[in-house]
Structures are given as structure tokens and as C-alpha cells.
């Protein structure tokens, strides 16, 4: 997780000063990882493998209310 989220790898001014900003970045990362990103080993997203959804989501679907 630390290698994928640049916000967590920087040790200077890159970190979130507010908890809400960090929480939003982590939620967006986990949503992308589980619903949008097709994994090589299972050839689908983890959400599809678990039976939560039947399609690959687009990133824009998370950003629209």
C-alpha cells in the first residue's frame, strides 16, 4: 500500500495535514484496487472474484455523487 500511494511515501510536506484528506485518499485507493484494477493472478477484480459485482468499474463512478 505504501508503494502505491505517493501520499504515504513522502516524508516531508506531502503527507496529509488533515485526517479527512488522508481518509479520502485511502478510501479512493482501496476502491480502485478492489473494483477497478484487474489483477493478473485472478484475471478479474477482487470484488468480481468475491461476487460483490459482475463488472469492472470506471474510476469516474467513484467520483460522482
pLDDT over 80 at 31, yes or no = yes
pLDDT over 70 at 11, yes or no = no
DSSP H or E stretch at residue 9: helix 6-9
User: How many domains is the chain built from?
Assistant: 1
48 within a domain of the structure (yes/no):
yes
Which pLDDT band holds residue 25 (cuts at 50, 70, 90)? confident
Residue-wise DSSP of 27-64: HHHHHIIIIIPPPTTTSS-HHHHHTS-SSPPPTHHHH-
With a CB cutoff of 8 Å and minimum separation 6, the contacts of 37 are: 45
**Per-chain mean pLDDT for the chain:** 82
3 within a domain of the structure (yes/no):
no
pLDDT over 60 at 61, yes or no = yes
pLDDT over 70 at 14, yes or no = no
* Full residue range of the structural domain in which residue 57 is found: 16-63
**Spatial separation of the C-alpha atoms in residues 44 and 11, rounded to whole Å:** 34
Amino acid at each position: 500500500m505504501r508503494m502505491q500511494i505517493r501520499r504515504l511515501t513522502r516524508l516531508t510536506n506531502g503527507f496529509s495535514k488533515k485526517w479527512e484528506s488522508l481518509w479520502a485518499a485511502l478510501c479512493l485507493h482501496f476502491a480502485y484496487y478492489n473494483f477497478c484494477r484487474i489483477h493478473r493472478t485472478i484475471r478479474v477484480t477482487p470484488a468480481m472474484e468475491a461476487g460483490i459485482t459482475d463488472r469492472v468499474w470506471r474510476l469516474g463512478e467513484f467520483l460522482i455523487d
